[in-house]
Amino acid sequence: MADNVAIEHAVKLLRQGRLVAFPTETVYGLGADASNPEAVRRIFAAKGRPVDHPLIVHIPNIASLNDWAQTVPESAQKLVARFWPGPLAIILNKKPQVPLEVTGGQQTVGLRMPDHPVALRLLEAFGGGIAAPSANRFCRISPTLASHVAEELGDAVDLILDGGACPVGVESTIVDLSGDRPALLRPGQISRSEIEAVLQTELLTFAPASVRTSGMMEVHYAPVTTAVLCPSERLLEANRQLTAQNKKIGIMAYRQWPENLNTAFICMPGHADDYAQALYASLRKLDGRQLDIILVEQPPDTEAWRAINDRLGKATIDYREFFTLI
Ligand code: TXA
Ligand code: MG
């Protein structure tokens, strides 16, 4: 776990405009001083991310909202009072001085106070906002361990603060509060209905057509190996068919299956929160095993599994599509 010396070193690097990866409760972030446009540009270069994809600014406390947001509407005050620190990012209209490099050229800014001791110590010691996307290459699997960040980014990052495994495992819920009506841009552990209950109103859903949020793109969070999302009742048949073609198969299931499946097999937890926590590390593990195909057993279609199904939908192709191709 990162100690005070490491935090001080990280703060020094951030002040010099360098990049520091740090743990949050969701995934590891690739951080830079959000008030320094040159430092922020380094994030895009390190990730290979298009410069018009906005970043989330991480802040040490609720009061800091006023440093970044032009106004903090009542809806935002209610949500952060209930969910911060925690896995919720909100989009608000930005103050004029917020660099356009951070916001991808938009007049809005994403803000979040993470619930992780290392992230909070870093933010407090730094005393400003830290712009941080997930610390992975663009469109790849988000890191949930410090070693994942090293694998993804290598020398492109100046320091990695180790905080162990991220407890939530999928990225924050994003709610856009910059317009007339609140909208859910990305599902996460904090569910739509929890947010609607606090706001006492229904959330709009944006169509992926207007890609302002890279997490809304069709392909994202993806392994290099072809991954296929497969309903439970098709899993064994699909495995048999592919094995007959001498394909090397990996399976990520969430239920118990016969032990004698001749494959790289990961049995995922049956509870949604535990599944989410293990999701990216498991995909990454199978992705590293030189397989031809990863079959992912489709989890239940209920609200508790919404963020997981969203990420799996982007990491995989549908089995019907796949089996018409082979
Ligand atoms: O859980 C998380 O949010 C993690 C950790 C590190 O905090 N961060 C994360 O960052 O997932 P990133 O960049 O991988 O995803 C942030 C998403 C992007 O899809 C981005 O487009 C969206 O937030 N976003 C940021 N600012 C925005 C804005 N002003 N308008 C619309 N979308 C915005
Ligand atoms: Mg990301």
Q: How far is CA 73 from CA 63, 65, 68, 232, 281, in A?
A: 13, 11, 13, 45, 37
Please state the domain extents for the chain: 4-210, 226-325
Average pLDDT over residues 150-178: 97
pLDDT digits (tens, 9 = 90+) for 115-137: 999 999 999 999 999 999 999 99
Q: How far is CA 299 from CA 89, 233, 271, 272, 275, in A?
A: 25, 12, 10, 9, 10
CATH architecture assigned to 226-325: 3-Layer(aba) Sandwich (3.40)
Q: How far apart are CA 186 and CA 230, in angstroms?
A: 23
Taking the CA atoms of 187, 230, 211 and 56 in sequence, report the sign of the dihedral they define: positive
Query: With 80 as the cut, is the pLDDT of residue 207 above it?
Result: no
Q: What is the dihedral of CA 29, 33, 36, 37, to 10 degrees?
A: 0
pLDDT digits (tens, 9 = 90+) for 249-288: 999 998 877 666 777 999 999 999 999 999 999 999 999 9
Query: Is the domain 4-210 a CATH 3.30.2010.10 member?
Result: no
DSSP labels, 258-319: -TT-SSEEEE--SSHHHHHHHHHHHHHHHHTT--SEEEEEPPP-SGGGHHHHHHHHHHSEEH
| Displacement of CA 39 from its chain's centroid (Å) | 21
pLDDT digits (tens, 9 = 90+) for 50-76: 999 999 999 999 999 999 999 999 999
Report the range of poorest mean pLDDT among 65-74, 215-224, 302-311. Answer: 215-224
Task: State the chain's mean pLDDT as an integer.
Answer: 93
Separation of CA 247 and ligand 2 centre (Å):
31
DSSP helix/strand/coil, 182? coil
Structure confidence at residue 211 (pLDDT): 45
Question: Tokens 């929160």 correspond to what residue?
Answer: 273
Structure confidence at residue 2 (pLDDT): 81
Q: How far apart are CA 211 and CA 217, in angstroms?
A: 6
pLDDT digits (tens, 9 = 90+) for 168-200: 999 999 999 999 999 999 999 999 999 999 999
pLDDT digits (tens, 9 = 90+) for 1-22: 789 999 999 999 999 999 999 9
Structure confidence at residue 208 (pLDDT): 47
Average pLDDT over residues 86-111: 98
In this prediction, what percent of the chain has a pLDDT beyond 70? 94
Q: Which of 323, 152, 164, 307 is nearest to 234 (CA)?
A: 323
Separation of CA 295 and ligand 2 centre (Å):
23
Testing ligand 1's pocket by substitution, the residue of 24, 49, 55 carrying the most ligand atoms inside 8 A of its CB is 55
| Token representation of residue 160 | 């990695």
pLDDT digits (tens, 9 = 90+) for 311-323: 999 999 998 888 7
Separation of CA 136 and ligand 2 centre (Å):
7
Separation of CA 314 and ligand 2 centre (Å):
12
Structure confidence at residue 212 (pLDDT): 56
pLDDT band at 307 (very low <50, low <70, confident <90, very high): very high
Average pLDDT over residues 92-103: 98
C-alpha angle 177-179-183 in degrees, rounded to nearest 5: 55
Query: With 60 as the cut, is the pLDDT of residue 216 above it?
Result: no
Q: How far apart are CA 43 and CA 248, in angstroms?
A: 36
Ligand in nearest proximity to the CA of 221: 2
Ligand 1 atom showing the smallest separation from residue 28 Cα: 6
DSSP helix/strand/coil, 3? coil
The DSSP bridge partners found for residue 294 are 227, 250
Structure confidence at residue 8 (pLDDT): 98
Question: Tokens 């830079």 correspond to what residue?
Answer: 32
